[in-house]
Every structure is written in C-alpha cells, then in structure tokens.
Amino acid sequence: MIGALPCCSADGVAYHRCVLQRRDCLALAALPLVGACGVEPTIVDGPDAPAFAPLATTPKLALVLAAGGPRGFAHVGVLRALGELGIRPDLIVGASVGALVGAAYAAALPVAQIESMAFDFDFYSMLRWSPGSGAQLEGRRIASLLEETLAVSRFAQLRTPLAVVATDRASGQPLAFNQGLLAAAVQASCAIPGWFAPVRIRGRDVIDGDVSSPLPVTVARNLGARRVIAVDVAAHLDKPRPEGAQRYLEGDRAKRAQIDAEAQLADLVLHPYFGYWVNLTRAFRERAARAAYEDTLAHAAPLCAIAS
C-alpha cells in the first residue's frame, strides 16, 4: 500500500461522486437507470490475484498516465508523439483510464492499434439489462476487452513493466498492482464508485484509482524511477470557464490540489488543453488526442533531455 494522499473526504469517495455529476467523468451519467446497484463485485483471489512487488531493476524513465474519464483519450496522442521523438519509457504507471491505455502501451501494441481501440470503443457495450434493476454498467467488459485485445493475461507477460493504481475502498488509500492478473487490476482501477461494482482482490474491495491518486507519480518514484514524465488531463483552472462550469469550480480546485501534490514529484508534466466540456463522441476523442500530440511535440526539447 502506498502512503496516504490528499483527498476531500475520509474515504476518498464523496469527492469523486461529486465529480461524477460533471460531463468530464465517464459521460454516462445521462443514461437512465444506470449504476452499480445490484451488480455483484468481481471476486479475484488465489495466487494469481493482482499483487505488488518491487521491481528487479531500477527504471530510468517512467511515464505516468493520469485518470480522467474521457479526458484520458488525450493519452493516445502523447503516445504517438513520444514514438515520433524516439522516447520509450521502461516503466509505465497508470490510474483508471490511464491504466487502460497504459496496459495497451506496455503490451507493445502499435500506436495505431491503441488509437483504434480508443476511438472505436463502444461504451454502451458495457451496459447490461437486469430484470428489476434496469440497465447497469458491467465492469467485467473492461477486463474482457483487455484480454481479447492484448492477448496477455498477466503483468509478467507485458513488454514493459506496468503498475496499475487503484483505491482501497475501506481506507481510501491508493493501491498499486504490478503482478498477477492484469485485466482484473485494470478493471478495479476503472471501477468508478456508484457506476461500477468494486473488484474484490484478496478480500479487499478495490475501486477507481482516480479517487486516491489521479496522477500517481508517487508510485513511479516508489518503484525507483529516476526520471518521470507525467500526463495530466484534468481541467485547466487558468483558462476562461464556459457557461455552466462555475458551479464546479470548488471541485476543480480540490482535484487540482490533489493532482499537484504528486505532480511536483515529476520531472515534467504535460497538461494538454482541449476545452472544458467533454463527451464520448469520436470527434471529441480525436480532438483530445490531437491536442495532446501537439502539446507533446511542443515540449520535444525538454522531453528528449529528460529521456537521454
């Protein structure tokens, strides 16, 4: 377990539920009768259950991919730009959507395939109908997507070491996984409270990494990374706020403080801007990725210096 990080409530969940009311969460909040009520937790136990252990070698360069729901589509633009710059980290750390994208990158999928996975993914495929409960989100579909796409089942099979950051629901503390079953760890890291059921790993209910560590630089440093490049996809507080966004200012400030507590531990933080409101359309996904691609290339000199 990693040390406690700042959050806005004792269990780390109340703040996240507040954020879910914005359109930059998973953008599924508008769907009627959708939620995790009545969905049993996925139980993962035994010797293959996700776990954490120190790395055998010291990473020279870590890439940290933040949580952020649809904002995480920006990550694929960063990956394309890093490839063009010839920069390849030897450790990847991700929370929530950052863990999902990071797993594909760690498995050495071509960037074009990661883009296709991100731009074409049908979020409505995670819906299932339960008599008496209506439509519900099924987190197991995230695990199935990874297993089918990556053709690997365990962290040890990845080309690049990966750490997936989630949250212990009982304590609100961040948890890191880098051993055992990969898909279960990523599913847990993406388990947004109130929308997806938790994943019960080794007897503990594990939820969304965004609750406790939206930009998990601390995990990268604890794993020994000498240099860290982090990708922050949260809203910009220094940009004009659009109509209707003022009521979320307090939550945005709280999230910014939570992110900055770890961002200061990175050597460089990329923070692409692609507007305030987000959605699940392909047009938005491509716009976010393009903005991140251009922002990454604009930082080519410091990035190459850090990676050298």
Catalytic residues: 96, 208
User: Residue 115 has which token pair?
Assistant: 């883009």
Q: Give all strands (DSSP E) within 183-294, no chain letters.
A: 199-201, 204-207, 227-231, 268-270
Crossing angle for the helix pair 282-298 and 111-120, to the nearest 10 degrees: 140
- Looking up tokens 């879910």 gives 20
Q: Which residues contact 5 (CB under 8 A, 6 or more apart)?
A: 174, 212, 213, 218, 258, 261, 262
- Looking up tokens 């997507």 gives 145
Q: Which residues contact 218 (CB under 8 A, 6 or more apart)?
A: 2, 3, 5, 174, 262, 265
